[in-house]
A and B are shown apart, each in its own frame.
Chain A
Amino acid sequence: MHWLAQQLTSLDEVAERFVKAKTGGDRFVPETGDAREAFRRALADLASSVSKRPGVTASFVAHEGLVLATGGNVPDFDALAATAQVCLSAGKAAATGLSLGGLKQMVLVGEDHKLALFLVGQMALGILAPCEVNLAAARGE
């Protein structure tokens, strides 16, 4: 398993604990706050650590098209998060229509940069890098 896959697996585990902590229905569950904070921190750590991988310009985690956590530095994370939402929505529809199974990732490649998008539960992870960067290496493969 490569570096990013390990990170995503760890994040899935934290997310699962968060979802389980919310099972009180309409009642107040004190542990939910801790689990949510752990999930939030894991997302922030992921964005930060991904942005430090070789060749990566920036990374971000978005929820419903809005920025949740960032790493690295780009002028407009808001635009990246909104783009991620648009692309992943279209990708999900296409994956369903083509019977590809659940969408896992997409890559947009421009003349200068590329943007890799990963679905992590209800969150989107985006990785921005110059187009000559080998993202497989950045992912630790």
Chain B
Amino acid sequence: MKTGAWNKDDPRAAPRPATVVGKIDKGDRDAYIDSLLGGLTSLRGVTAAAIVDADGFPIRLRHDFDIDEDALGVVVQIVLGSARQAAEKVKQGDTDLVLSENHDGLVLLAPLTKGLVLVVMTDKSAMLGAVRFELKETVPQVNALFEAKD
């Protein structure tokens, strides 16, 4: 399995202080974020989890298979942009989650703080309820990490 900078099987690389984090250094933040993405990719059928910045560039990525990182950015821009416009048209407020159910899998997008987007890709074996539940629980945690002071 390809991973980002952090190997979830290596406990030395996964700091787990037993306190609420209000202030954090960049290394710890990256490890925590990788741990949260690892929680998503550990679900059945999840093939990739990534955080993409406002310009469509993946800043953290965990994946099982080769993935076209440029395509990931394009997916975010197109799908999330369309969803936001649609929500605006029907006056439903901000977009919290976008699901694209495709022939061979799912793409779920969740806007984060600071213009970032959490992207989860799955194959057909994924259980939507499990992925959606984990995604919804993960979003506030990721936001808290990006909002925490350096």
Residues of A at the B interface (CB closer than 8 Å) are: 24, 26-34, 36-37, 40, 62-70, 77-78, 81
Residues of A within 8 A of B36 (CB): 33
Which among A27, A40, A65 is the interface contact of B22 at CB below 8 angstroms?
A27
The answer to whether B141 has its CB under 8 Å from any CB of chain A is yes
| Chief secondary structure at chain A's binding surface | mixed
Most chain-A CB neighbours within 10 Å: which of B21, B32, B36, B141? Answer: B141
Which among A30, A34, A37, A81 is the interface contact of B32 at CB below 8 angstroms?
A30
Residues of A within 8 A of B128 (CB): 66-67, 78
CB distance from B101 to the nearest CB of A (A): 11
- Decide if B17 touches A30 in the complex (CB within 8 Å): yes
- Decide if A68 touches B21 in the complex (CB within 8 Å): no
- Decide if B145 touches A62 in the complex (CB within 8 Å): no
CB distance from B113 to the nearest CB of A (A): 10
- Decide if B21 touches A30 in the complex (CB within 8 Å): yes
| Chief secondary structure at chain B's binding surface | helix
Which among A29, A33, A34, A68 is the interface contact of B130 at CB below 8 angstroms?
A68
CB distance from B49 to the nearest CB of A (A): 13
Residues of B within 8 A of A64 (CB): 129, 132
Tell me the residues in window 66-109 of chain B with beta carbons closer than 8 Å to chain A beta carbons: none
Which among B17, B35, B129 is the interface contact of A68 at CB below 8 angstroms?
B129
Which among B42, B129, B148 is the interface contact of A28 at CB below 8 angstroms?
B148
Residues of A within 8 A of B134 (CB): 36, 40
CB distance from A82 to the nearest CB of B (A): 10
Which among A30, A33, A34, A67 is the interface contact of B129 at CB below 8 angstroms?
A67
